[in-house]
Amino acid sequence: MSTSLYWQTLGSGPDLVMIHGWGMNGAVWQQAAEQLSQHFTLHIVDLPGYGHSAESHGEDLADIANQVLAQAPEKATWLGWSLGGLVASYVAIHHPNRVNKLITVASSPKFAAEKASINESGISKAAWRGIQPQVLTAFTDQLIDDFKLTVERFMALQAMGSPSARQDVKQLKQAVFSRPEPNPRSLLAGLKILAEVDLRDALEQIQSPMLRLYGRLDGLVPLKVSKELNLQLPHTECFVFSESSHAPFMTEHQEFCAQVSRFAL
């Protein structure tokens, strides 16, 4: 396994690290990068196991974050989409000296849905909205049979509900398949992270200014998540893209770039 990750650096201005989501690679940022590179020095990574970093591997969230940190700028604004939002949040929690500001895009501190419950002390725990565990299990099973088809299905799921869904999926496919296919071992590790990681309590440790971006039509990170976090993290900023599902940087890329620039500059 290779120990160095593939990075693309472009533009000039304050440092901005951009982290893609599960099954994807850094090419998904192409459209947004053209605009943001006019204001920022962009550092776009292919996570271990993905794209040009396909020969690397990240076993868990800490391992992935540490590999990214090893080659990231000493201090930057960190922007993470979906699974990448967990990576960026982990860095902000455990390495606050490396993060100026934090931006999460269509991300959740806990991607797997959870039913309401009552513990042994009689304290009730509210339900948490997210991806149904059986959906994540199905993706895991399908990966073993046909991982390319599984990734394509995940792309369709990400765009579902967006008025430009067909175009969004086409763009995602073109971007992702322009680079080497992800390695199945890393895809499985990523699904395990989506199924098991819960950073909800740890988010309160984040010291840097934080902007949370959501798509109103997102089926993977329902809007209820943003409302829950508004209550938990009242000091953070939140913006909802009215026409977007899970990929607002494609569906509403002008507004996406405007929100990032407003917050990070």
- Per run of 10 residues, the mean pLDDT along the chain (length 265 residues) is 84 98 95 97 98 96 97 97 98 98 98 86 81 88 82 85 88 91 92 96 96 95 95 96 94 97 97
Q: Which of 20, 43, 246, 253 is catalytic?
A: 246
SS3 238: strand
Domain harbouring 93, CATH code: 3.40.50.1820
Distance CA 128, CA 108 (A): 11
pLDDT at residue 144 in the model = 75
- Name the active-site residue from 218, 244, 245, 253: 218
Q: What is the pLDDT of residue 3?
A: 65
Catalytic residue among 82, 89, 108, 226: 82
- Residue ranges of alpha helices (H) inside the chain are 30-36, 61-71, 83-94, 133-145, 147-159, 165-176, 184-196, 223-232, 248-251, 253-264
44 phi/psi in degrees, rounded to 5: -105, 120
60 has catalytic annotation:
no
Residues 6+ apart with CB under 8 A from 253: 31, 32, 35
Separation CA 6–CA 60 (nearest Å): 19
Residue 211 phi/psi, 5-degree rounding, is -120, 125
Query: Do the Cβ atoms of 255 and 241 come closer than 8 Å?
Result: yes
108 part of a folded domain: yes
**Domain assignment of residue 105, yes or no:** yes
**Quick check: is 24 in a domain?**
yes
C-alpha 65/C-alpha 60 separation (Å) is 9
pLDDT of residue 2: 55
Question: Is 235 noted as a catalytic residue in this protein?
Answer: no
Is 248 a member of any domain? Answer: yes
Q: Residue 107 is part of which domain span?
A: 6-264
Neighbours of 247 (CB within 10 A): 30
222 falls within a domain: yes
Count of domains observed in the chain: 1
Torsion of CA 21, 151, 59, 55, to 10 degrees: -100
Residue 1 lies in a domain: no
pLDDT at 158: 86
Asked if the structure places residue 180 within a domain, the reply is yes
**Is 145 a residue of the active site?**
no
